Amino acid sequence: TKSVTLKSVTKTFIDDQNKFVHAVSDVNLVIKQGEFATLLGPSGCGKTTTLRMVAGFEEISTGDIFFGEENVNKISPNKRDCTMVFQSYALFPHMTVFENVAYGLKIKKLPKEEIERKVDDIFAIMNLTEHKTRMPSQLSGGQQQRVALARALVMEPGVLLFDEPLSNLDAKLRLLMRDEIRRLQKRLGITAIYVTHDQSEAMSMSDKVIVMNKGKIEQIGTPQEIYQRPKTKFVADFIGTANFINGKISKVTEDELFIQTEDSVLKAIRHGDFSVDDAIQMVVRPEAIHLLEEESGEIKGKVVKSVFMGQTQDYEVEYNGVNLQVTVHNPMGERIYQVGEIVSLHFPRESLHVI
């Protein structure tokens, strides 16, 4: 298994009107051995292009890609130590499940017994043994995708690449496959680069999330870092639900920021450099805001929406002309506020993230 490094990697296409398309701009990235890294971003942001450059299917315009210490810029896709799993399973329809999975090893001219042993091993790990002699058309979509995964894993690649492999599956199966991919990747210790536009997929599977926007990296971090400490408005907005509150820094201490808003002063934990009078935005997640009875606090808001969701009660609370999304868990014991009620808002120090 190998680390993957991208240094100032750029890809410029020329479209059918002879215009330049800057699909990927100056991407710098290190994915460690055995790490599960996900490229996350909206459609068209350059995820697939980045992945295809790693695989060697797409030539890079400028920059360098390394597998371990080795520069692979000039190495053809079939000689690179990586395998890609696609959204369309791309199984050979005229071959059995066994033949499909054995195919790559046959091309590599491995002895017959070794091929059989490796394929049987992977089938055992993935509980596919009973489907061995079936044709792809006799399998469900989920089973076909698992065969496609087995076909990639059996090659024991140094790097495993995935391009939205679960998009064609129904919601329930997607959840199961997330766990299965994650389990196999960890068990085999393979470095994985996974592409998705689905933030919950990225959050639940990854060691490291790389958020992309318009061909550039916006932020790299663990799922927690990306969610709790988004660096940009784009990241805050793209991952989960974000409330934004405008303010001005009124005081800076070693570990705290005091922020003057329209009607109050809020405290936040300081991450990074800020100066007094900086105009800033705070990101607050819906579940981090506390709602209290009107008389309990100084910061007031008005409930404009109150929806019972089962696990949560979801509110919209008007505060200084902004509608804040507020989620309260377990409404069973909680007081439920009705539309029109005035409530006090409490923003715990940890809940306010300044960008």
As a whole number of angstroms, the distance between CA 20 and CA 8 comes to 18
Could you tell me if residue 8 is left (phi over 0), alpha (psi between -120 and 50 degrees) or otherwise beta?
left
Hey, which residues between 148 and 177 contact ligand ADP (CB under 6 A)?
none
* Residue in 1, 5, 38, 48 binding Mg ion, rule: CB under 5 A: 48
Rounded least distance, CB 347 to ligand ADP, Å: 35
Q: Does 13 bind ligand ADP (CB under 6 A)?
A: yes
**3-class DSSP state of 236:** helix
Contact 308, 318 (CB under 8 A): no
Determine if 48 is a binding residue for ligand ADP (CB under 6 A): yes
Do residues 123 and 101 lie in contact, with contact meaning Cβ atoms separated by under 8 Å? Answer: yes
> Is 45 a binder of ligand ADP (CB under 6 A)?
yes
**Part in contact with ligand ADP (CB under 6 A); list of ranges 13-21, 133-141, 146-154, 279-287:** 13-21
Say which entry of Mg ion, ligand ADP, none residue 166 contacts (CB below 5 to 8 A, set by partner kind): none
Q: Is 223 in the site for ligand ADP (CB under 6 A)?
A: no
The Cα 100–Cα 92 span in angstroms is 6
DSSP helix/strand/coil, 141: helix
Q: Which residue lies nearest Mg ion, judged by its C-beta? A: 48
Segment near Mg ion (CB under 5 A), from 41-49, 115-123, 272-280, 287-295?
Answer: 41-49
Among 1, 5, 38, 49, binds ligand ADP (CB under 6 A): 49
CA distance 326 to 245: 13
Q: Which two tokens stand for residue 115?
A: 């091929």
Q: Which of residues 195 and 268 has its CB atom nearest to ligand ADP in the complex?
A: 195
When the beta carbons of 47 and 174 are compared against ligand ADP, the nearer one is 47
Q: By CB under 6 A, how many residues form the interface with ligand ADP? A: 12
Among 17, 18, 43, 330, binds ligand ADP (CB under 6 A): 43
Query: Six-digit token pair at 56?
Result: 């060697």
How far apart (Å, rounded) are the C-alpha atoms in residues 49 and 202?
Answer: 18
Distance, CA of 55 to CA of 159 (rounded, Å): 9
Q: Does 38 bind ligand ADP (CB under 6 A)?
A: no
Question: Encoding tokens for residue 5?
Answer: 């490094």
- Asked whether position 308 contacts ligand ADP by CB under 6 A, the answer is no
CA distance to 54, 201, 207, 237, per residue, from 42 (Å): 20, 13, 20, 12
Q: Which whole-number Å values give the CA distances from 308 to 289, 305, 334, in the listed order?
A: 17, 10, 12
Residue 229: name its binding partner from ligand ADP, Mg ion, none (Cβ under 5 to 8 Å by kind).
none
- Tell the smallest beta-carbon distance from residue 136 to ligand ADP (Å): 26
Instruction: Specify the stretch interacting with ligand ADP by CB under 6 A; choose among 15-23, 25-33, 172-180, 282-290.
Output: 15-23
Angstrom distance (rounded) from CA 292 to CA 296 = 6
**Can residue 92 be called a binding residue for ligand ADP (CB under 6 A)?**
no
- Interface residue list for Mg ion (CB under 5 A): 48
- Interface residue list for ligand ADP (CB under 6 A): 13, 15, 21, 23, 41, 43-49
